[in-house]
Amino acid sequence: MRGLLLGGWAFAASLATAQRGPFLEQIDDTTWVVGNDLWNLTQGAFYATKLFHRGQDLVGSAVGHYVGYDGEDNLQWLSASIAAEGDNFIDVSFFAELGDFHWVIFDDLPGAYQYFVNRALPDISILRSLWRLAPEIFLNGRTHLKNEALPDFALYANATNVQDETWQLEDGTFITKYDWSNAVRDRDFYGVYGPEFGSWYIHPTFEYYNSDQLSQTLTVHRESSTGDSVQLNVVQDTSHFRVGQTTAQPEGKTWGPWLWYLNSGSIADAAERRVEELAGWPYEWFNNTSYHSRGGVSGYLQLSDGRPAAGAAVYLGDTDTTIRPSIQGSNYYYTTYADDTGAFSFDDVRTGSYGLYAWSNGGEIGDVYTNVTTSPVTITRAATTQLGELKWDVPSGAQRIFQVGEFDKKALGFTHGGPPYQHGVADLSPANLTFVDGESENSDWYYAQSAIGKWTIEFDLAAEEVTGYKTALLSVSLAGYSQSAALDIDVNGQVLATLSKDTLVSDPALYRSGKTNGEWRFFQYPISSSMLSAGVNTVGFTVTRYTQWRGFMWDSIILDWE
């Protein structure tokens, strides 16, 4: 293990033959070579290229590796040094004015652990590292949702660009990088591979990712302008699938370490490596005091009607509960789900103060639209904070008239709702639809409403109900909204409200292949019993403004007598 300044140019290919273990070598003021006996790369001021592994350059004519925030190659490396070392590894730090990117290189590891430490980043929405690799070597992409060949670069030549990185082919189908997206906290591992080589990202924890269980972002794709095989590592993202907002980043905040792993292209081997990484996390070799200062928290969620909050989504986020979980991104974040008894626990949480949030994830409590928030929750080193029973208030005395869709902030259960990601599916929803309470199923509703027309829910009321209650409450839960669609909500033809770009800020999920969720929105409207009558009644949703691939993504519609 060593770091040297070479007097002249050293070819990275020849360095691979020297049996010397992990190394850093400086070629000139803006060029370095790092690696070990199994691989090495040449790092320039912005890009890392000449990635040699088993005698093959895996970058070739592609762009290579870079790190950037809210853009492309905007972190410039000014120097490099060995920040730490052990008996069998070195930690190489590349210095930029805004922060340091590290490659932790072990003797016999084909790849490296990577992490980024903030020094002076501005408020950001995106932070990422990525590889753009040789397309003739890396033919396929793999995520936990999708495993197939990347689109042939030749397809783009005669395709029409219909929006950012989305192309329509002559047969009317689409290719887009957004079809490879997924929910961050559902991932196992992902990467690009071919018959001889694979390049993978394995994250043993999601604590340095922003947001809650609904967070989603990009993974791999074909670069439409060059054909490069792209392997993205987006560790901060508050814009691609939600209402965008930048977040402040404290000095010293660390994203990672994660593992960038090279192999023969074997998915099974990458899966086995992930198991090893999970077993070894938190990493003992990582020399960071706050990283190793960890504790736990546990508790039990009980609904006020006596039911356990079975399967509830539980999230440790910011103590400032006025910030939406979907855009929280300054700290570290943890997610889990309650068991059938409402019990939950978090282990290996960084010490500090958090806000605890819980909401229905469908299932046994899919009828519950309220939530729980408590703050602060303090995590202390080597201890488990016992929260005991947390009371979750649900409306008392309410009588359910009807419900369409389970409340889970997602479009699951509806036609076309849920994976896979696919562009343009909103166009398959009907313009007009009638849902009859007591006869129709959730699957008769569609995940998205887009075309100009009216969707109607029909429901029966008994005379004694209309005379026995003064008001009803209509709860409308949207899994997402993409402008510029507009929607009138009516009861028996009387318009209650209009949802449009004038009242909602757009999220891009629906037109970026999202079929599960974007940014959640929730509205409630009181209805006088005078607006209702004995017999058949209707709640209507009329689209009055249409923009292709945009519209309203549905979660749940609930009508209760109060």
Q: Which long-range contacts (CB under 8 A, 24 or more apart) does 383-388 make?
A: 383/295, 383/296, 384/295, 384/296, 384/297, 384/298, 384/345, 385/295, 385/296, 385/297, 385/298, 386/297, 386/298, 386/299, 387/297, 387/298, 387/299, 387/300, 387/356, 388/299, 388/300
How many other CB atoms are there within 10 angstroms of residue 87's CB atom? 7
Instruction: Say yes or no to pLDDT of 6 above 70.
Output: no
Name the percent of the chain lying above pLDDT 90.
Answer: 95
List pLDDT tens digits, range 505-517.
999 999 999 999 9
Residue 268 backbone zone (phi > 0: left; psi -120 to 50: alpha; other: beta): alpha
What's the confidence (pLDDT) of residue 462? 97
Residue with tokens 């029966």: 460
Instruction: Say yes or no to pLDDT of 16 above 50.
Output: no
| 512-543 per-residue burial string, b: 16 or more CB within 10 A, e: under 16 | bbbbbbbbbbeeeeebebebbeeeebebbbbb
Q: Which long-range contacts (CB under 8 A, 24 or more apart) does 280-283 make?
A: 280/204, 281/204, 281/205, 281/348, 282/205, 282/348, 283/113, 283/204, 283/257
How confident is residue 18, by pLDDT bands cut at 50, 70 and 90? low
CA distances from 343 to 180, 298, 336 (A): 34, 8, 11
Q: What is the mean pLDDT of residues 25-41?
A: 98
Q: Decide which of 460 and 14 is more confident.
A: 460
List pLDDT tens digits, range 360-406.
999 999 999 999 999 999 999 999 999 999 999 999 989 999 999 99
User: Can you give the pTM of this predicted structure?
Assistant: 0.95
Query: What's the angle, vertex CA 445, arms to CA 444 and CA 446, rounded to 5?
Result: 120
How many other CB atoms are there within 10 angstroms of residue 148's CB atom? 10
Residue with tokens 């023969």: 264
Instruction: Say yes or no to pLDDT of 445 above 80.
Output: yes
List pLDDT tens digits, range 233-256.
999 999 999 998 999 999 999 999
Instruction: Say yes or no to pLDDT of 4 above 60.
Output: no
Instruction: Say yes or no to pLDDT of 62 above 90.
Output: yes
C-alpha distance across the termini of the chain, in Å: 72
Instruction: Say yes or no to pLDDT of 12 above 60.
Output: no
Sign of the C-alpha dihedral, residues 378, 379, 383, 388? positive
Residue 148 tokens read as 């197939």
Structural domains of the chain ordered from first start: 2-291 (2.70.98.10), 293-392 (2.60.40.10), 399-561 (2.60.120.260)
